[in-house]
Structure 1
């Protein structure tokens, strides 16, 4: 039973978090893009480079990764339900 509860909990959390990022709920993907840009700028300033930061990932990449996490969470949740039913 503990495996089923673990899969349900972890899968549900992954499903909700990935879905929120994939659907850009309350600007989650936008915030991740701004956070990455701020970190890149801080890293460049710590190295002594004062130019504009290079864009590493766009919000579309974060939304795609959120979709992958949500689908993986769905698989884990369904696996937990199957384990619980067996």
Structure 2
């Protein structure tokens, strides 16, 4: 039997390939709303970030998350994402 493949994704903060389950998905919905997606199944354009605050801060400072989602993200939304990552 072949071993099961583990999906890999790139963190937009630290630019490291990690297992998909280790990362948090941030999604831009078709309505233009930016949300944290703990299930990983919401419809829309997604970007992945490590579940540590340092990676999210780096993605915010260098606007990597905005480029990945093709949308300007307000600082209030970043604060909501930060609170969501801290809870998890």
- Whether TM exceeds 0.5 here: the answer is no
Output the TM-score relative to the length of structure 2: 0.30
Q: Which has the higher contact order (CA 8 A, sep 6+)?
A: 1
Bigger helix fraction? 1
Output the TM-score relative to the length of structure 1: 0.30
Between Structure 1 and Structure 2, whose CA radius of gyration is higher? Answer: 1
